[in-house]
Structure 1
């Protein structure tokens, strides 16, 4: 897609295309998401999308101005899927942990799209709602506004970064993933204590742990630190 603006009022069509497809923004995003997982970033072309949708490629400009516009919609859809079943309980720490794990799982469910979109700021409906919910959770817990934003920033960036990191690993061919896992057993587990005492002492833990994502542990560390900061703030204000 290249830049080609269609007036907003003319973007939606209710009647089917010549191929019998009734296009919608949702259908285009869903199809693009599927194609990205199958073919990578090269899937985002008017020709390929039109072919997959059974529609004239030019009709896509009624919904998206260009490829980047569509990429932002895809990023926002991934956020929306994360939020769809998240229900805050009032326990801020447990709620953020659940949301973080959902964000990470959502990235792994669409690894190629996650790698492409993790660094984007969409300014769209689902992202705005996510920002509102997370900051609201932190303010409701008692964090001062500046601290709430600071922790929000760290929380979101951590989830997105781990999502992209682990998604990149998931997107590797199975043989490459297996080979990297094997390095811990075949190389690190056999380093001698005389030259690498700390690796040798922890080798069995490295073999058992390094094959898995460290995101849950990193998330717990972040939330524990946040709770400690909140306790310290309360102690200062009460004192």
Structure 2
């Protein structure tokens, strides 16, 4: 706490440790579990004291944990992904999490085998904080340094890829980029528009004439089929006779 006279007071309110499981677990996973314990404990302390905190800061000596917190929880395997998601829900990794050297990390005292009970009693650094905690925040031995998440914790189906998209210009755009053709671009566009319009009208006219010819032809064939046999023969003879006269 920062006192009214500008001085700083540090006191241990609560602490928690957990024995490592018998099942073999990697160090980054153990560090991540410890970080999750920290945010859970901080949440309980805040709820119990019912005070408004100006700032909350979390410290870890594992740069791998900071690296995992920088990534998306959905890109990790289930063990890491669920814990990263909860830590992000209960804290702000970008502004509240910091890396600190191991010898400045008080939480490590609860896990060291060579630490004696008298080193954690009242009046010790474990209870009242290390000297650096009494200094201005700008002088703290902390960093935002992190390393890449362990590859074995990443989902195998997640791949990052980069590609270049090349847009191909049409021939009008290529002409427009030439200074000598820039002035006549508008004229060229009008000319192309007229050509397209004339072609469209010609196509419609051709299709219309073809349809009219097919209808007339179909009508003649239908009338020929419906005419009596005698009339057909008479018509054929007349048609033949007419041809002979012409010859």
TM-score normalised according to structure 2 size: 0.27
Structure label with greater radius of gyration: 2
Which structure would you say has the larger RCO, counting Cα contacts within 8 Å and 6 or more residues apart? Answer: 2
